[in-house]
Structure 1
Amino acid sequence: MIEKKHITDRFIKYVTIDTESDPNNPAFPSTENQWDLAKVLVKDLTDIGMQDITLDENCYIMATLPSNIEYRVPTIGFVAHMDTSPDFTGKNVKPQIVENYQGNDIILNEEKNIILSPDYFEDLLQYKGQTIITTDGTTLLGADDKAGVTEIVTAMEYLIKHPEIKHGKIRICFTPDEEVGKGAHKFDVNKFDAEWAYTMDGSQIGELEYENFNAASAKITITGKIVHPGYAKGKMINSMQIANEYIASLPPEEVPEKTSNYEGFFHLHDMNGNVEKTVLEYIIRDHDLDLFEKRKYLMQRIAFDFNERLNEDLVEVDINNQYFNMKEKIVPVMHIVDIVEEVMKEIGIKPLIKPIRGGTDGSQLSYKGLPCPNIFAGGHNFHGRFEYIPVESMVKATEVIVGIATKVSEKYA
């Protein structure tokens, strides 16, 4: 049985280490403090008895739990990321533990009047009677994805302490910089040497995902001309005005705050400029590859039309693909999803199979030859001050990992 206190203590140890990644630094890892958690994890993996532990020059940790059966079964893997999102500060995280939650408002920070309320976050009501870990309202928590890290370490420890549980060879990896889209860039699939793997990086209990967005970034650079505003007629070109028109030319309903499920979007996440130059930064997302390509074409077409009308190349669009929908790589090996679904049902979890409205290391790893669906880690409200996680969900995620290991050994006996 996985002990709640044990998994809670480990989780709190990990989340109180600042590992926020930096989207503007091309280095691996993008922040030096990710090494701090990596070194702690190497020690923890050594202490529990894992083998072949490596920490490479890019801050990727790999380790092995050897098989304890005589016959050969596929080597499987589990992956989680060490960094936290730069969307909200992860420095000086002060977790709060709410025992036996009763469906009431949770005061995160009395001084600042920051409240986690089920009136707004209705999912809280699923966890009445459970132990919930929250922030103090001034930072994110870091359950994304230190919950996944915690669950993998705890599951490996449990298997080592219970050799009567039969399993094949298991590989684990903890990656840097997933939150800035680089988590799988330097992942050595050949070194990992698993037939398939699972990222422990989903949200609420039961999530099982093998579809994600196709993703691209778009940078629109608009060049204007500045002259004295008193004598500007027919001469000034205000790049900010053109930027406003460009934004208005995109479908107004196809934005994150107005879409769900399989619906794609254009998301303007940064904008700065003056008369002479304005830069718009977008992300483009869609589950359907044809619609994804049409979105990219539309952004280029709008720029072309503006330049035609202005009779000058003032609007430039630079689009870069980031990752693709892993469904194409998972469907041919759907048995790896079926195994998880069976395990969840056996331990009393209702599988929630749905598309990821985002991406994980698993999407890139799948295209690198390592099929890698995504399993819940248990947290809610990632990337912000209202992030929380029920301890019982972490316990169940750990049980799923153990269950997958045993299920694979049974199926290939």
Structure 2
Amino acid sequence: MLNKQHIINRFLSYVKIDTESDPKSNTTPSTKKQWDLANKLVEELKAIGMSNVSIDENAYIMATLPSNVEHEVPTIGFISHIDTSPDFTGANVNPQIVENYSGEDIILNTEKNIILSPSYFEDLLLYKGETLITTDGTTLLGADDKAGVCEIVSAMEYLIQHPEIKHGTIKVAFTPDEEIGRGAHKFDVDKFGADWAYTMDGSQVGELEYENFNAAEAEVTFKGRIVHPGYAKGKMINSMYYASEYINTLPKLEVPEHTEGYQGFFHLHDIHGNVEKTVLEYIIRDHDKDKFKARKALMQKVANDMNTKYNQDIISIEVKDQYYNMKEKVTPVMHVVDIAEEAMKQLGITPLIKPIRGGTDGSQLSYMGLPCPNIFAGGHNFHGRYEYVPVESMLKATKVICKIVELTQERYN
């Protein structure tokens, strides 16, 4: 039986290490502090008895659990990322443990009156009576994706300690910089050597995902002209006004706060500028490939139309694709999803098969030749002060990993 306190202690040891990634850095990993957790994991994997433990110059960690059966079984893998989001600070994380959650408000920070309330975050009510790990209201928690890291390490440790559970060769990997879209960029699929894998990077218990957004980022730049405001008539060009017009020309309801399910969006996540120059930074998302292309084309068209309207080249736009919908690569090998679904059912977990409104390392890895659906890791409210994870959810995810390797072995016996 999995030891609850052991998993709590392991998870806490991870989240207390600051691993925030930096989108403005050109190095891999993007921050030196990611090495702190990476090096710790290397030693921990060796300590629990994993084989072929390695870490490369970019902090990609890989390890192997050899097969304990005679017959041939496909090699499967489990992957999580070590970095946390730059959306909110991950420094000096001070986790709080709420045992036997009552279903009432949780005071995260008395001094600052920060409250985690089920009246706003209704998912909390799913976990009445369970043990929750929360923040203290001043940082994120890092369950995205240190819960996944914890679950993979714990599952491997359990399998090593229980050789009666039969399995084929299992590979594990931990990546840097997933939160800034680079987690798979330098992943060596050939070295990893798995036939397929699963990212442990979802949220609610039961989540099983093999569809994700097609994703792009766009930088829209507006050129202006500064002159003394007292003598500006007919001379000044205020780039910020043009940027405002551009923002308001895009569909106002096709934004994250008004969309769900398969609905795509334009998301303005950063704006900086002055009279002379303003830059808008967008992300573009859609599950449907044709609609994704249309969104990118619309952003270009709005820029072109405004340049024509004002009869000058005031707007330039640069669009870069980030990742694509893994459904195209996973559908031909749906047995990898079927095995995970069956594992959950056998453990009494109701599978929640739905599209990811985001992306994981698995979306890129699937296009690199490694089909890679996503499985729940248990956390909620990622990337902010209200993040929490039920310990029981981490235990269930750990059990799912163990059951997947067992079912894979049985399928090919």
Q: Does the TM-score normalized on the shorter chain lie above 0.5?
A: yes
Tell me the equivalent position of 1:368.
368
Could you give the per-residue CA deviations for residues 3-52 of structure 1, whole angstroms, max 9, x where no partner exists? 11111110001111111111110101011111110111111111110000
1:204 is aligned to 204
Task: Tell me the CA shift for residue 291 of structure 1.
Answer: 0.4
| Counterpart-to-counterpart distance in 2, 1:149 and 1:378 | 12
What is the alpha-carbon distance in structure 2 between the residues aligned to residue 273 and residue 160 of structure 1? 56
1:256 is aligned to 256
Deviation of 1:235 (Å): 2.3
Partner SS state of residue 36, structure 1? helix
CA distance in 2, matches of 1:43, 1:239: 53
- Give the aligned residue type for 1:352: L
Q: How does 1:3-402 map to 2 (within 5 A)?
A: 3-402=3-402
1:406 alignment counterpart: 406
The residue type paired with residue 103 of structure 2 is G
Residue 238 (structure 1) shift: 1.2
1:401 is paired with a residue of what secondary structure? helix
- Greater shift after overlay, 222-231 or 55-64? 222-231
Q: Which amino acid aligns with 2:38?
A: A
SS of the residue aligned with 1:94? coil
Per-residue deviation, 1:388: 0.4
Tell me by how many angstroms 1:272 deviates: 1.2
Q: Which moved more, 1:304-313 or 1:149-158?
A: 304-313
Q: Quick one: percent identity of the two aligned structures?
A: 71
Could you list the runs of 5+ residues in structure 1 that have no partner in the other structure?
A: none
CA distance in 1, matches of 2:308, 2:232: 22
Q: Which amino acid aligns with 2:291?
A: L
Distance between the aligned counterparts of 2:119 and 2:220, measured in 1?
39
Matched position secondary structure for 1:71: coil
Instruction: For 2:63 and 2:190, locate their aligned partners in 1 and report how far apart those are by CA, in whole Å.
Output: 14
**Per-residue CA distance 1:369-401 (angstroms, 9 max, x = gap):** 000000000000000000000000000000000
Aligned residue for 2:77, secondary structure, equals: strand
Stretch moving more, 120-129 or 224-233? 224-233
User: Could you list the per-position Cα deviations for residues 244-284 of structure 1 after superposition, in whole angstroms to 9, with x for gaps in the alignment?
Assistant: 11011100000111111111111111111111111111110
- Could you tell me which amino acid in structure 2 is paired with residue 105 of structure 1? D
- Tell me how far 1:2 sits from its aligned partner: 1.0
Q: CA separation in 1, counterparts of 2:372 and 2:52? A: 22
Q: CA deviation at 1:309?
A: 1.4
Once the two structures are superposed, residues 207-249 of structure 1 have per-residue CA deviations (whole angstroms, 9 ceiling, x without a partner) of 0000000110100111012223233232222111111110111
Counterpart AA for 1:98: V
* Contiguous gaps of at least 5 residues in structure 2: none
* 3-state SS of 1:370 partner: coil
CA distance in 1, matches of 2:337, 2:408: 12
Whole-angstrom CA distance in 2 between matches of 1:241 and 1:383? 31
Q: Distance in 2 between matches of 1:195 and 1:341?
A: 18
What amino acid is aligned across from residue 207 of structure 1 in structure 2? E
Deviation at 1:104, TM superposition (A): 1.0
Alpha-carbon separation, structure 2, partners of 1:392 and 1:100: 11
For 2:337 and 2:59, locate their aligned partners in 1 and report how far apart those are by CA, in whole Å: 29
One-letter amino acid matched to 2:404: I
Task: Output the aligned Cα RMSD.
Answer: 0.7
Q: How far apart are residue 402 of structure 1 and its match?
A: 0.2
Which deviates more from structure 2 when the two are superposed, residues 227-236 or residues 49-58?
A: 227-236
Deviation at 1:87, TM superposition (A): 0.6
CA distance in 2, matches of 1:236, 1:18: 46
Structure 2: which amino acid aligns with 1:286? D
* Secondary structure at the counterpart of residue 261 of structure 1: coil
Q: Which amino acid aligns with 1:336?
A: V
What's the offset of the Cα at 1:311? 1.3
Question: How many residue pairs align between the two structures?
Answer: 413
